[in-house]
Amino acid sequence: MKKFIAKRLAQMLVVFVAVSMFAFSIIYFSPGDPLYLYTSPAVSSYKMSDEQLDAMRESLGLNGNVAERYVSWAGKMLQGDWGLSVSNHQPVKKQIMDKLPNTIGLMGAALVLSILLSIPLGLLAGYYKNKWIDNIVSGISYLGISLPAFWFGIMMIILFSLNLGWLPSSGMHAIGNTSTGDMIKHAILPTLVLSVNNTAVFVRYIRANTIEQMEEDYVMTAVSKGVPQFQVMKGHVLKNCLLPIITMVGMNFGTLITGSFVVESVFGWPGLGTLCMSAINSRDYTMIMGITMLACVVLLIGNFLADILYGFADPRIKQGKEKSNG
C-alpha cells in the first residue's frame, strides 16, 4: 500500500506541474497586454503610474524569458503569494479562500444528495431489470445525463421562483437575513441542479452492478434457499454495489467542480464559480490562474482519497495494487 501511495503522489506531482504550466500559459499566450485595464483610458478611469505598472508586471511574472517567468510565478504560488487581483488590487489568495467554503458546501451537499438518491433508484432499476420501474428510472437517468446544467437551472428558476414563488432565484441570503434556514432555502435549487448529472451517472452504474450481482452464484444460492428478497439485496447485493461508488465519486469529481462553476453563475451563488466568471469578464489573469490551480489541487486530492478509500474498503484491491507495484 505504501508503494501505491508513493506512486499516486508522484503522478499527482506530474499532473500538478503540467496544470501549472497550463495556468501560466493563460497569461503568457493571452492576446494584448494583461494590464490593458490600467493602461487604456477607454476601459478604466484609474491610471496606474509607471512604477505601479512595473511592480504589477513583476508580480505577474511578465519580466524575463519564459522559463524565468514560470519559475518566478510558480515559486511565489508555492510560497502562498498568489499576487494581487488585476481588477480590485486585493490579494488573490484571500478572495479565493473567502469564497471556497461556499463552493465546497454546495459541492458536498450535491454529492450527498446524489448518493442518497442514486443508491435506491439504481438498486430498484437493477432488480426489476427491463420492467416498467427499470424503464422509468433508466429514462430519467438518461435525461439527467443529457440536460445542460445551465438550461436546467434556468427552468428551475422559472418554475419554482417566478411561477410558484416557493424558492429564491439567486444569492445565498436574503437582504438582512443571515440565518442558516435562509441559506438552506437559497441552496435548494443550486444543490438540486448540481446533483442531477452525478445522480444519473451513479444510477446507471449501480444498476449495471446490481444486474451483475444478481447473476452471481452466491446470490442465486441465497434466493434458492428462500432468503427474503430484502435480506438478499441488503446483505449481498448492496454491499458489493457500493464499493464501485467510491471510484465513481473520484472519477466524477472533475464534473462536480466544473458543474459547480456553471451552477453558481446561474444562481448567483457567491462561490468560486461566480468569482471565476467575474475574473474572466474583467481579464483578471491572476485570479483565473489562482482558481485554476486551486481547482487542480482539489481535484487531485479528491481522486487520491477515492483511491485510498477504495483500497481500504476492498482488501482484494489493496492486495492487487501491492502485487502490481511489488
Backbone angles phi, psi at 91, to 5 degrees: -55, 130
The three-state secondary structure class of 218 is helix
Q: Give 82's strand partners.
A: none
Q: CA quadruple 55, 292, 14, 8: dihedral positive or negative?
A: positive
- Weakest-pLDDT range from 17-31, 52-66, 220-234: 52-66
Q: Contact at 8 Å (CB) between 96 and 291?
A: yes
Distances 259 to 139, 143, 205, 278 between C-alpha atoms, Å:
22, 16, 20, 16
- The answer, as to whether pTM is greater than 0.85, is no
Q: Give 84's strand partners.
A: 91
pLDDT in tens, 217-243: 777 777 777 777 777 777 777 777 777
pLDDT band at 210 (very low <50, low <70, confident <90, very high): confident
What is the C-alpha separation between 214 and 273, in angstroms, rounded?
42
- pLDDT the model gives residue 1: 65
What is the C-alpha separation between 69 and 268, in angstroms, rounded?
35
Interacting residues of 264 by C-beta distance below 8 A, sequence separation 6+: 103, 106, 190, 270, 271, 272, 273, 274
What is the C-alpha separation between 2 and 4, in angstroms, rounded?
5
Domains detected in the chain:
101-270 (1.10.3720.10)
pLDDT band at 29 (very low <50, low <70, confident <90, very high): low
Q: Which amino acid is at 199?
A: T
What is the C-alpha separation between 189 and 167, in angstroms, rounded?
8
Q: Which residue has the higher pLDDT, 64 or 268?
A: 268
* DSSP string over 287-308: HHHHHHHHHHHHHHHHHHHHHH
Q: Contact at 8 Å (CB) between 97 and 294?
A: no
Spell 203-227 as b/e; 16+ CB within 10 A means b.
bbbbbebbbebbeeeebeebeeeee
